[in-house]
Amino acid sequence: MEYINNPQEIEKRSFEIITEELGRPLPKEVAEIVKRIIHTTADFEYADLVEFKNDAVAKGIKALSEGKKIYADTSMIKVAVNKRAAEMQGVEIVNYVHDEDVRAEAAKRGVTRSTVAMEKALGDEAVGIFAIGNAPTALYRLIEAIQEGKGKPDLIIGAPIGFVGAAESKAALDALDALEVPYIRINGRKGGSPVVAAILNAMLYQLGREW
């Protein structure tokens, strides 16, 4: 059997196909992100679902270039972000969802571990980007805490996926417009960890990439 097996070639050709099939130009500052989401999901619907608010891309890239930490609500985000590209910027991804103290407190209060992990991250000043790919509760908790004046992230990526609360939690980000908090969200039910990682990788690659 014959097939292209050079990863760089495969990615280049994939982006050509995506650009062609999209069939419409995208604003320059978001094009790389939108195309990388489609590359990750093979789902063109994301071009219509992704939304960028409050200078999100510029603010996100700035935070990454300053080596701010990323809080992620799933381990999948952590493994799906390009490790070398993150290291080049000195960016660390933190995730408290499996910590024993988080597990214990969640069980005690009868809430998700994601909610408790999010509260723990809010106490960490070095965290610049909040990347939420799974838990609507984490996104709700984050929005509430920001409204309570407990912090102002450089960027929120709001992409919980699912049938119960996901779409609503992302719609709730509207409340942060008044505070000019930058966010990128996936409207509706879709989203998830690979989509979050695609957004982060697209921003990181604009700062540098090794093959």
Q: Exposed, middle or buried, 94 (CB in 10 Å: 0-12/13-18/19+)?
A: middle
**3-class DSSP assignment, residue 72:** strand
* Length of the chain measured in residues: 211
Q: Which of 60, 153, 158, 191 binds a copy of itself (CB under 8 A)?
A: 191
Should residue 103 be labelled a site residue for a copy of itself when binding is judged by CB under 8 A? no
Q: Where are the alpha helices (DSSP H) in 23-99?
A: 28-41, 46-49, 56-65, 75-80, 83-88
Q: Which of 33, 80, 181, 204 binds a copy of itself (CB under 8 A)?
A: 80
**3-class DSSP assignment, residue 73:** coil
Should residue 201 be labelled a site residue for a copy of itself when binding is judged by CB under 8 A? no
Q: Exposed, middle or buried, 15 (CB in 10 Å: 0-12/13-18/19+)?
A: middle
Q: Which of 26, 31, 58, 76 binds a copy of itself (CB under 8 A)?
A: 76
Q: 110 vs 123, which CB is nearer to a copy of itself?
A: 110
DSSP string, 153-200: -SEEEE---SSSSHHHHHHGGGGGTTTT--EEEE-SS---HHHHHHHH
Pairing state between β 127-132 and 69-72: parallel
Should residue 39 be labelled a site residue for a copy of itself when binding is judged by CB under 8 A? yes
Residues 125-184 that bind a copy of itself (CB under 8 A): 136-137, 140, 143-144, 161-166, 168-169, 172
Q: 55 vs 144, which CB is nearer to a copy of itself?
A: 144
Q: Which of 22, 30, 94, 111 binds a copy of itself (CB under 8 A)?
A: 111
Closest distance of CB 31 from a copy of itself, Å: 17
Q: Which stretch binds a copy of itself (CB under 8 A): 35-43, 61-69, 148-156, 202-210?
A: 35-43
Please list the active-site residues.
39
Give yes or no for a contact between 167 and 108, defined as CB atoms under 8 angstroms apart.
no
The partner residues of 131 in beta bridges, in order of sequence, read: 72, 157
Q: Which stretch binds a copy of itself (CB under 8 A): 12-20, 25-33, 55-63, 119-127?
A: 12-20
Q: 14 vs 65, which CB is nearer to a copy of itself?
A: 14
| Binding region for a copy of itself (CB under 8 A) | 1, 3-7, 10, 13-14, 17-18, 39-43, 75-76, 78-80, 110-112, 115, 136-137, 140, 143-144, 161-166, 168-169, 172, 188-194
